[in-house]
């Protein structure tokens, strides 16, 4: 019996582990290391209507226990993703979550409408939180009413459930989460990166050509845990948690906070095998801790014991 | 095929000021197909530094299943790397990228190898393989100063070798670009600082020139899009090459540097 299978809107996951968008391309690079069907799902790189080159280099800078990136949503554009990347991924038995990005509302709607029709796309991840593009992206992710409206419009035309990716760069994350829930979001994914900056010690100037970038990696894990802890108690839609996950223990911590599945991002760059390794280690860790199924861990940090009893019955 | 392997360190020596030669025993040596490929080293198992370090392969021996890297102690990651000694194991991902095309020059022809600083190491295996193919190899190596220079004697075994130092403490004073002006060649291979690569590409617009580029990398396998560069011939403005997986070696003129 599997201890790891999870049902979420649009997604039947054999396990709750998936690579995070932007950290896995469209899967090809990692397919040389392991069978992508091992994964619970794949969150593919953000797709925009037109191809994008992204930002100038340097695009990454390291920090203690993390990294800053300012890639700038480089992607081959909707047509190529529909015509080449998604059909290639269809050889694997793995649901795809398509990350949808844009500069204006119409962009999101155009991409969402078409990409949600792809047979292997089982859900959308609405990217209203990319910190590295000048227009759109984060503007939609920091004003609750704007986020609610966009969610509603995308939800109206999408053929599959819509998850909204929340930015941590806000004063009140709960307010944002509630707004997109009101807009009809089927789930949340959180957190995107935290805006940060590094300066060159010799020149005194920013290392990233974009000046600022998104901080990811283990450094941001406590922020993600706190935000998921708060949001999961305030909304009634599931959360796919992310932010610095490297190990099976990290995964459980995200579940305890209130996540129902998780995504692994930066750790893929350090160890290409990190996702299958976590998937392999999780059942033993659950066994050791006395859990029959990973879903028993969900929300443990704030749920009362009676609720656990109820769920088991 | 790229492997991830815990490799045993055979030796590590400081061969010049802040320049270290590191030899490891590795099954992945079997997978190395060309000089100029690189590996990605994980120098700390914790999170500091988090990412791997891209280091070029200086020479390899398929029979012994060993390869050697030369790197410069520069920041926190490479400083940690210098602390590792023979017998310890290091997590290596590789081989990565596409190396120098040795078939571009034939027996009896002349290859000019131009290296600057820590761009010199990958040219050593290239020199060995070209010399073994009967190619006449000429080396021009540039360093900041005498104390930072290395491997001149090894390159000399394969052919003429000229050294330049920026401060004039060894060889001729100045840059490699001054020395190579008078040298005739059929094919030029180079690795070093971007300013040097730009100067060489500009100096020989019509010759056969191959450049090995350096860029800040995330994953090293083409997934993160950190190390992209623009293609020269690009009417759309969105064409790109990834230095890690399409390069690091490109023909001059192929990408914007």
Q: Test A59 with B230 for CB contact under 8 angstroms.
A: no
Q: Which of B199, B161, B146, B193 minimizes the C-alpha distance to B177?
A: B199
A312 — pLDDT class (breaks 50, 70, 90): very low
The tens digit of pLDDT for each residue in B94-112 reads: 999 999 999 999 999 999 9
Which among A24, A29, A270 has CB closest to B50?
A270
The 3-state DSSP class for residue B252 equals coil
The answer to whether the CB of A217 falls within 8 A of the CB of A262 is no
Least confident of A102-106, A160-164, B194-198: A102-106
A235-250: pLDDT as tens digits: 999 999 999 999 999 9
Taking only the tens place, the pLDDT of each residue in A254-283 is: 999 999 999 999 999 999 999 999 999 999
Tell which of B31, B90, B224, B247 to mutate to test the A interface (max A CBs under 10 Å).
B224
Are B27 and B40 in contact by the 8 Å Cβ rule? The answer is no
Residue of chain B minimizing CA distance to A52: B238
CA distances from B19 to A62, A202, A313 (A): 22, 21, 65
Three-state DSSP at B219 gives coil
Which residues of B are less than 8 Å from A273 in CB distance? 4
Q: Which two tokens stand for residue A69?
A: 């990136």
* Nearest C-alpha in A relative to B243: A57
Q: What is the pLDDT of residue B233?
A: 84
Chain B neighbors of A222, CB-CB under 8 A? none
- Cβ-contact A155, A180 below 8 angstroms: no
Q: Percent of chain B beyond pLDDT 70?
A: 100
Q: Which residues of B touch A54 (CB under 8 A)?
A: 225, 228
Residue among B237, B35, B32, B224 at smallest CA distance from A217: B224
CA distance B175 to B192: 12
**Rounded distance, CA A184 to CA A9, Å?**
12
Find chain B residues with C-beta within 8 A of A62's C-beta: 49-51
pTM of the model: 0.93
Half-sphere exposure (Cβ direction) of A213: Cα atoms closer than 13 Å: 31
Q: Measure B125 CA to nearest chain A CA, in Å.
A: 27
Residue of A nearest to B238 (CA): A53
Closest CA to B44 of B69, B76, B67: B76
Q: What residues of chain B lie within 8 A of the CB of A66, using their CB?
A: 47, 50
What ipTM describes this predicted complex?
0.92
Check B238 against A61: CB less than 8 A apart: no
Q: Which of A23, A130, A275, A297 is catalytic?
A: A130
For residues A2 and A14, the answer to whether their CB atoms sit within 8 Å is: yes
pLDDT digits (tens, 9 = 90+) for B203-221: 999 999 999 998 889 999 9
What the block records as the tokens of B209 is 């020139």
CB A224 within 8 A of CB A168: yes
Residue A130 annotated to the active site: yes
Choice among A127-131, A171-175, B231-235 with the minimum mean pLDDT: A127-131
Rounded CA-CA distance B245/B254 in Å is 15
Distance CA(A79)–CA(A267), nearest Å, equals 29
pLDDT in tens, A67-125: 999 999 999 999 999 999 999 999 999 999 999 999 889 999 999 999 999 999 999 99
Does residue A294 surpass a pLDDT of 90?
yes
At residue A12, does pLDDT exceed 50? Answer: yes
Nearest CA to A218 out of B45, B5, B75, B90 is that of B45
Hey, is the C-beta of B228 within 8 angstroms of any chain A C-beta? yes
Nearest chain A Cα distance for residue B230, angstroms: 9
Mutation pick from B44, B225, B228 vs chain A, by most beta carbons of A within 10 Å, is B225
Closest Cα partner for A207 from A1, A104, A61? A61
pLDDT (average), residues A39-45: 98
Q: Which residue in this structure is represented by tokens 């991002």?
A: A265
Cβ contact, residue pair A65, B227, below 8 Å: no
A269 vs B218: CB contact, 8 Å cut-off?
yes
Length of chain A: 313
Name the residue in chain A with its Cα closest to that of B245.
A29
């Amino acid at each position: 019996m599997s201890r790891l299978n999870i049902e979420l809107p649009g997604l039947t996951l054999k396990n709750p582990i998936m690579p995070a968008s932007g950290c896995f391309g469209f899967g090809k690079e990692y397919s040389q290391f392991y069978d992508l069907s091992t994964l619970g799902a794949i969150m593919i790189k953000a797709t925009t209507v037109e191809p994008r080159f992204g930002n100038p280099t340097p695009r990454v800078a390291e920090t203690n226990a993390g990294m800053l990136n300012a890639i700038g949503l480089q992607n081959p554009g909707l047509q190529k993703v529909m015509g080449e990347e998604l059909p290639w991924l269809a050889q694997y038995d793995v649901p795809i979550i398509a990350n949808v990005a844009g500069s204006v509302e119409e962009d999101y709607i155009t991409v969402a409408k078409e990409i949600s029709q792809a047979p292997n796309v089982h859900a959308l991840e609405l990217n209203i939180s990319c910190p590295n593009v000048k227009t759109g992206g984060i503007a939609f992710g920091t004003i609750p009413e704007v986020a609610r409206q966009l969610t509603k419009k995308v939800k109206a035309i999408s053929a599959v459930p819509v998850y909204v990716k929340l930015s941590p760069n806000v004063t009140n994350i709960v307010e944002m989460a509630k707004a997109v829930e009101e807009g009809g979001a089927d789930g949340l994914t959180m957190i995107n990166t935290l805006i940060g900056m590094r300066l060159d010690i010799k020149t005194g100037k920013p290392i990233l050509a974009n000046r600022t970038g998104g901080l990811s990696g283990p450094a941001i894990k406590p922020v993600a845990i706190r935000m998921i802890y708060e949001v999961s108690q305030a909304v009634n839609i599931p959360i796919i948690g992310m932010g610095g996950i490297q190990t099976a223990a990290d995964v459980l911590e995200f579940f305890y906070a209130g996540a129902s599945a998780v995504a692994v991002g930066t750790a893929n760059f350090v160890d290409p095998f990190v996702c299958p390794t976590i998937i392999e280690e999780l059942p033993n860790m659950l066994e050791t801790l006395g859990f029959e199924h990973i879903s028993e861990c969900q929300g443990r940090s704030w749920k009362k014991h009676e609720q656990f009893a109820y769920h088991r019955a | 095929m790229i492997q991830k392997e815990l490799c045993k360190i055979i030796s590590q020596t400081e061969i010049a000021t802040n320049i270290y030669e590191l030899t490891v025993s590795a099954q992945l040596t079997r997978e190395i197909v060309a000089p100029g490929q690189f590996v990605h080293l994980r120098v700390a198992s914790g999170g500091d530094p988090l990412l791997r370090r891209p280091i070029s392969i200086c020479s390899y021996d398929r029979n012994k299943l060993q390869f050697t890297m030369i790197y410069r102690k520069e920041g926190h990651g490479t400083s940690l790397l210098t602390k590792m000694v023979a017998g310890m194991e290091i997590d290596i991902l590789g081989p990565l990228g596409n190396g120098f095309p040795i078939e571009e020059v034939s027996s009896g022809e002349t290859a000019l190898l131009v290296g600057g600083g820590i761009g010199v190491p990958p040219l050593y295996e290239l020199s060995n393989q070209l010399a073994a193919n009967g190619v006449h190899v000429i080396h021009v190596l540039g360093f900041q100063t005498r104390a930072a220079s290395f491997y001149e004697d090894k390159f000399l075994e394969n052919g003429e070798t000229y050294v330049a130092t920026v401060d004039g403490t060894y060889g001729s004073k100045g840059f490699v670009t001054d020395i190579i002006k008078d040298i005739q060649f059929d094919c030029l291979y180079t690795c070093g600082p971007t300013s040097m690569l730009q100067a060489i590409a500009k100096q020989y617009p019509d010759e056969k020139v191959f450049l090995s580029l350096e860029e800040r990398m995330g994953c090293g396998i083409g997934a993160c899009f950190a190390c992209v560069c623009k293609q020269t011939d690009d009417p759309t403005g969105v064409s790109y090459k990834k230095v890690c997986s399409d390069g690091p070696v490109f023909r001059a003129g192929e990408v914007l540097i």
